[in-house]
Amino acid sequence: MSRTHSLSKGLFTALPILLAGAVPAFAHGHGHAGQQAMADLIDAQGQTKGKATIRQGKDGIEVDVKAVGLPAGVHAVHVHTTGTCTGPDFTSAGGHWNPEKKQHGHDNPAGAHMGDMPNMTVGSDGTGELRTVIKGGMLAGGATPLLDADGAAVVVHAAADDYKSDPTGNAGGRLACGVIKAE
């Protein structure tokens, strides 16, 4: 058997094994599934107010916010355009993440921003949790990734989002902010 024939035979034997290893990366329809990021939420005094875990899922960005030490009630939670959380008002985080240039709110016929998420209810013990999916969102890659050059932040607001008033949903001031950091 010639050396070339032996090399070709070995390559054809190994090729199915190599291709099988590549399949899981594309099983979710894109190569970014499983990417993860975190945001430590702080208040204006720098005290910890919770954590947001952000993962790339097959349908979009999966967000899990766990809050502590917040006032009881219903609070808007949004993804903001800039990865900076300078107190006391956190306006450094910019406006809501809105790569599709829509108006604010799920109940607005011209909405919603990609950064618009459901309200979070905080109990009398100061804790609350929100789990949601930002449909079609990408952490990285694509035309409008969340983690672009200036980053992004998760912001918890003082009031509930009315889901329709542009540009902020009448959500009030910013109680807590966390810079989203890729892991």
**Catalytically active residues, by annotation:** 78, 80, 96, 104, 113, 116, 157, 174
Torsion, Cα 86 76 94 34, to 10 degrees, reads 90
Q: Cβ of 117: how many Cβ atoms within 10 Å?
A: 23
Phi, psi of 37 (to 5 degrees): -140, 165
Strand boundaries in 44-144, DSSP class E: 48-56, 60-67, 73-75, 77-80, 120-122, 128-135
